[in-house]
Amino acid sequence: MTDDAVTELPSAARLDEAVASYRERGFVRLGRCVPPDLLAEMRARVDAMMQGELRYEGLFFQRDTDTGRYEDLGYGHGWVGPTLRYRKLEKLERDPVFLSFIQAPLFREVTRRLVGPAVTLYRAVVFNKAAETGGSDTPWHQDGGRFWGLDRDPGLQAWTALDDAPVDGGCLEVLEGSHRMGLATPLGGVVPARLLEEADAEARALPLPAEAGEVILLHNYAWHRTRRGRVGHARRALTVCYLDAATRCLRRKHAPRTFLRVF
Ligand SMILES: O=C(O)CCC(=O)C(=O)O
């Protein structure tokens, strides 16, 4: 794979426009940026990792629930055998194809504008909604707060559809402008039901259906969720969170994390 694997690098003017829209709305759609052969390669690698055919030290797995309910998810079990029914795979940067994608010129240009000149990686995760079951719901949440254990808020997430993610098939949904309200709780993560009601989130949810290869930039504070996918259609999506390279890990129980420098 070469540096121009993400082929559609928008013009500087288009990127500036996208950045302004992201700041205003908390998200922006960059359109289809990933060529089909690269998408196919990434999907095949994700499946091979789940099946245990492609292994990397330290890869993180979370098996999905059998009920489709977020509340029923198990934690700390890791890889539990070959199945396509994992919900989450993390540390995708260990795979050279994913690492090259994370470091594509498109993301260099975006992070230069939104994060700064020196950039590290907080996480590169695939969220999977398995074809066999449609996967599970991920409730309204924010990606920041004490839960993330950082000395400053994370910078930016780039969400890439590896499969089509239609309205009734697990697309990203956002509450436009919610990033401007800051953190819903100091801990971050799932937004409490009372605040969802106050914000009328159900009625204001904005679905962002995406075709495979589309990239959406998402502010970490933007309230967002995904619902179950369609049975018979896998819905895999890659989400990459970039940090200002000055960001430090605050955790005390274990040795503080260090973050991979990507730009
Ligand atoms: O794609 C998904 O199912 C969830 C994505 C998400 O919540 C995230 O990127 O933070």
- Per CATH, the number for 3-261 is 2.60.120.620
- CA–centroid distance, 127 to ligand 1, in Å, is 6
Distance from C-alpha of 44 to C-alpha of 236, rounded to nearest angstrom: 11
Tokens of 215: 């990239």
Does 65 contact ligand 1 (Cβ within 6 A)? no
Does 159 contact ligand 1 (Cβ within 6 A)? yes
Backbone angles phi, psi at 259, to 5 degrees: -115, 140
Residue bearing tokens 């559809």: 161
Does 220 contact ligand 1 (Cβ within 6 A)? no
Query: Residue ranges of the domains in the chain?
Result: 3-261
Does 138 contact ligand 1 (Cβ within 6 A)? yes
- CA-nearest residue for atom 8, ligand 1, is 239
pLDDT tens by residue, the chain, 263 residues: 334 446 567 889 999 999 999 999 999 999 999 999 999 999 999 999 999 999 999 999 999 887 777 777 777 778 889 999 999 999 999 999 999 999 999 999 999 999 999 999 999 999 999 999 999 999 999 999 999 999 999 989 999 999 999 999 999 999 999 999 999 999 999 999 999 999 999 999 999 999 999 999 999 999 999 999 999 999 999 999 999 999 999 988 889 999 999 99
Does 143 contact ligand 1 (Cβ within 6 A)? yes
The pTM (predicted TM-score) of the whole model is: 0.94
- CA–centroid distance, 53 to ligand 1, in Å, is 25
